[in-house]
Structure 1
């Protein structure tokens, strides 16, 4: 049922959100020159996939988890995108393709070994990664791998269609800060 909802909502989001995506893309061209950010992430069953989102940091920023990045790397437009969570919109493509769900554990980088280990111990990597979830709406980020994996496991154990909608509505209404960068949020 959730995969069907993911497919429908991501398709509708991409179709009806296309004008917004286009405007953000054009503004991003002026901001960084390369408005779309692609990065290999850990997917379901540790299968790698390429996550897409709008670029919020300068092009030469090191490929590290957000909590390890320098706040000076975030552009002014990038700060707006992060605050409004609009940088996540291109991930609807990942959801449409079945690499992600709208609700699930945020996909990490392969170099975040402690988080991967914690998630493996709790069975979290058996699920599709998500755009949002319980950890995101409660401001729990990847700087606390044990707590994050524990929260992800709790969410997955209790994930119903009602909870799915709850996390999406909480995210859209502004609950949670998303991926934090030190000194910026």
Structure 2
């Protein structure tokens, strides 16, 4: 019942409430982004949604723009050479606090995402999509945050991230979602796992220690 109905009802209620309550925040952040670097306030990017028919389903994810207009489009941050050069001053703050992800509340309201679930992969991240398929992680609605995000986030390698996403699919429940939400709040406050261009950084640290 939770997976089929209640999870979506909770997403609708919380996203609607969030959109209304956060109106002052929307205005302040929009003004800061515009003042710092001319261009659109929001950044849209093609992502892979829930796999409903054995074929990839795509949607446009919303983010606050945290990078300069000259940044290569549809390129994962970890594939950019010296990604810090593209991040604006306000963008650095938004990314560190994860506020750049806030507009995804609209994706949740539209039913394209959930508050908790595997993070939606880029349309061209075939490696992540293929790895997740082994664990059935493509068959659930992608989330704003999830089990992998509180267990390493940017530092995780693709295979480890996919395995954690598979764990989430198996354990999905109201209590487990609450656990992921609380864990996310703790990670955001500590800025845990945020590494620009950092995919696989956790493994690199272990190799360095050895």
TM > 0.5: yes
The TM-score with structure 2 as length reference comes to 0.81
Shift of 1:83: 1.1
Q: 2:160 aligns with which of 126, 135, 147?
A: 147
Q: Are positions 1:59 and 2:65 aligned together?
A: no
Return the alpha-carbon distance in structure 1 between the equivalents of residues 69 and 183 of structure 2. 31
Shift of 1:28: 0.8
Shift of 1:143: 6.1
1:38 partner SS: strand
Return the alpha-carbon distance in structure 1 between the equivalents of residues 110 and 28 of structure 2. 23
Write the mapping of 1:1-185 to structure 2, written as runs, cut at 5 A. Answer: 1-33=6-38, 34-45=40-51, 46-62=56-72, 63-69=74-80, 70-141=83-154, 144-173=157-186, 174=188, 177=192, 180-182=195-197
| Cα-to-partner distance string for 1:100-158 (whole Å, 9 max, x where unaligned) | 00001111112111111111222111111100011111223386211111010101211
Q: Please report the RMSD computed on the Cα atoms of aligned residues, expressed in angstroms.
A: 1.9
The TM-score with structure 1 as length reference comes to 0.92
Q: 1:53 to 1:32 in 2, by over 3 A?
A: same
Query: Please, which runs of 5 or more residues in structure 2 have no aligned partner?
Result: 1-5, 202-210
Deviant stretches of 4+, over 4 Å: none
Does the CA-based 8 Å contact 1:42-1:108 persist in structure 2?
Answer: yes
Q: Which moved more, 1:66-75 or 1:168-177?
A: 168-177
Return the alpha-carbon distance in structure 1 between the equivalents of residues 116 and 193 of structure 2. 13
